[in-house]
A and B are shown apart, each in its own frame.
Chain A
């Protein structure tokens, strides 16, 4: 829905009822609704085949495992909305996790170990933002370079040693207030905050404006550079929080870059309906995208897809989701065009 707010709706003398109907239709046609429907239908299909899938514990596992991807995908979505991309997130995740673990293991206060990844995440992403906004290096190049630097630097500094014997209080993600794993609270709360902020704050709207039409945004007095810095800063914040959820889940921290995570995060954002060309997309879609990916992964185990075909089926389902989004978008465009 937010996807199209930047475009004026066709003028019509619709009655309140007509407007409501139109609103309902817009909602039913939104990528968020389609994704939510996809998650539910897929879950039901798997559940019909293997009822154990529907157990509360399993559903909570899926959500909990989606959380760090979802939170990172929130930041990624905002970056992609401005027409940029960040492929260094996985490397950053590895670096920040190591920083947090090293602080915790060297008897610094726990809150510092939690805060550090956020602060460093923001700083590093602001640096990327600086490269992109002020030095005019395309984001894909800047982050490709940063990925190398972070990945190599991490091994160079740590030698790849794992971090053991973390203090008990460090494991934030293992806590389960009210029987629900902590990462789930983070995922929903952050998504909600981001969704509200993107929709109602001036900066949020400016982000869409920059992604939608740079020139028009500039003419209307929006500083593109400032917006880009903000966007990468937010991404850093999200990667920082995502790191905490990721790193405090395990008893040991692996001082390496988790393989292929950047692709999972970008995929979550993309199937969440963010347009890679910029200008549209929602954070709720990104969260649902992350959940859908995990549901597919988990569901396939439950319906006994051969392990050799797991990846292919996953790729196929992702392709289908993307195509649905494309067709939906096209129909909306032509409806507006009329």
Chain B
């Protein structure tokens, strides 16, 4: 009995050594706290404001020179459905959040305009890539013409998508990509460095180039969020070296947790905290609500990625003076047009642009991505022009 208890204790100690060591490590190594939530991919910060005009020309030509070859995949023996009715699976990361309700709305708008497209929206209730894989397998078996996905994990979803391509199903990504060869095209809402620039510029306009900021991200494993944070740090490093990054905390997809995290950050740093980046459409309202209810918006504000309807009260009361987002309805809308163009044989590998209804012509970038455009910054001036 005693011996076994000792064995148990030793085992516990072994398992827990890293846990016990961790807090110390973090405390002694303060700068590394800021690196939280990043990924290991290379960053590509855009030009700083002010340098823009000077940089514009060379940057444009530079991009034009390094044209990336088409690197998407192609379906095997896909039936020719040009001009015919098609059934499209709309598979967002999860259902039950405003953001993806908006992309679905956009898809349906475009489908109505086009008249020969049926949208079926189906997705897990939690952002789980494993569930998404099950949905893909089921719909491929059931027989679907196109899968439009927003992946919860770029790598994990890819085998299932490749299998769909092999079965002759068209695969188009939006919002969150897979590996390039697992889908034909990806409708990119905004480049990561473009988002990062808009976020950091917006923040600096509010708190100054030497302000102190913290980040509330969604889950620490969320690929888009990690990419944005990496690009934001790189961009700030280049343009605002005096910006003081305090800390990154996760809030999952949980409004209550984001609320609590924002309170903790304010209580921890007090007036030293000038701004909070809220990195998801759920973290945004949570953080802004906390700042509003604490009544600290004169010293701490939040700049978030979120939808206008969720953020309207906080944009109006000044707690979230700037909200950065593309228009998710347009994203869904563009995705539907891209799907139609692929089916009708108008968007072939090597194309440089695509027609997207009321959005006009959208450019192709990075080989097989269609770019929606620069992100929109919602402020008190323009917030009432948007309803989604």
Contact = CB atoms under 8 A, between A and B. Distances in A.
> Do A and B make up one complex?
yes
Interface of A: 50, 52-53, 55, 57-58, 61, 65, 151-152, 155, 158-162, 164, 174, 246, 249-252, 254-259, 294, 297-298, 300-310, 312-313, 316
Given A65-B263, A307-B249, 16 more contacts: A52-B267, A58-B267, A61-B263, A161-B98, A174-B293, A250-B255, A251-B292, A259-B253, A301-B249, A301-B268, A302-B264, A303-B23, A304-B30, A305-B23, A307-B33, A308-B220
A311 B116 CA distance: 49
Contact of B286 (A161, A250, A256, A312): A250
B22 A313 contact: yes
Nearest to A50: B268
A246 B125 CA distance: 20
A249 B293 CA distance: 9
A161 B310 CA distance: 11
B11 interface: no
Contacts of B248: 307
Interface in B81-97: 95-97
B309 interface: yes
Contacts of B286: 250
B97 A160 contact: yes
A298 B265 CA distance: 10
Given A256-B97, A306-B23, A307-B36, A152 B125 contact: yes
B33 A251 contact: no
B313 interface: yes
A159 B293 CA distance: 29
B60 interface: no
Interface string B233-257: 0000000000000011110111110
B138 interface: no
Interface in B1-32: 16, 19, 22-23, 25-27, 30
30 contacts: A52-B269, A53-B267, A57-B267, A58-B263, A65-B256, A65-B259, A152-B125, A159-B95, A160-B125, A162-B98, A164-B310, A174-B293, A249-B256, A252-B255, A252-B285, A254-B96, A254-B282, A255-B96, A256-B97, A258-B255, A258-B256, A259-B253, A297-B260, A302-B268, A303-B27, A304-B23, A306-B25, A307-B33, A307-B37, A308-B22
A260 to B, nearest CB: 8
A259 B252 contact: yes
A47 to B, nearest CB: 12
A309 B19 contact: yes
A123 B308 CA distance: 37
B274 interface: no
Interface of B: 16, 19, 22-23, 25-27, 30, 33, 36-37, 95-98, 100-101, 125-126, 220, 247-250, 252-256, 259-261, 263-265, 267-270, 282, 285-286, 289, 292-294, 309-310, 312-314
A298 B19 contact: no
A300 B17 CA distance: 17
Given A251-B313, A257-B125, A306-B33, A57 B294 contact: yes
Nearest to A298: B264
Contact of A65 (B252, B260, B270, B292): B260
B19 A312 contact: yes
Contacts of B30: 304
B259 A301 contact: no
Contacts of B254: 258-259
Given A155-B125, A159-B95, A256-B97, A307 B250 contact: yes
Query: Considering the complex of A and B, which 10 residue pairs feature the smallest CB-CB distances, nearest first?
Result: A160-B96, A306-B26, A256-B96, A58-B267, A309-B22, A61-B263, A305-B23, A162-B98, A301-B264, A312-B19
Contacts of B96: 155, 158, 160, 254-256
Nearest to A297: B260
Q: Most chain-B Cβ atoms within 10 A of its Cβ — which of A160, A302, A305, A312? A: A160
B310 A162 contact: yes
B249 A304 contact: no
Contacts of A297: 260
B149 to A, nearest CB: 18
A18 B208 CA distance: 68
A58 B264 CA distance: 7
Nearest to B121: A159
A301 B265 contact: yes
B29 to A, nearest CB: 9
Contact of B33 (A294, A300, A304, A313): A304
Contacts of A256: 96-97, 125
Nearest to A174: B293
B95 A160 contact: yes
B36 A61 contact: no
A226 to B, nearest CB: 35
Contacts of B250: 307, 310
Contacts of A158: 96
Nearest to A303: B23
B17 to A, nearest CB: 11
Contacts of B100: 160
A160 B282 CA distance: 13
Contacts of A258: 254-256
B387 to A, nearest CB: 10
A45 to B, nearest CB: 12
B268 A52 contact: yes
B314 to A, nearest CB: 8
Contacts of A55: 267
A157 B106 CA distance: 21
A259 B282 CA distance: 13
B95 A155 contact: yes
B187 to A, nearest CB: 22
B139 to A, nearest CB: 18
Nearest to B296: A57
Contact of B27 (A58, A246, A304): A304
Contacts of A61: 260, 263-264, 267
Nearest to A300: B23
Contact of B101 (A159, A294, A310): A159
A327 to B, nearest CB: 12
Contacts of B270: 52
Contact of B259 (A155, A159, A249, A316): A249
Given A254-B282, A297-B260, A308 B36 contact: yes
A332 to B, nearest CB: 20
Contacts of A306: 22-23, 25-26, 33, 36
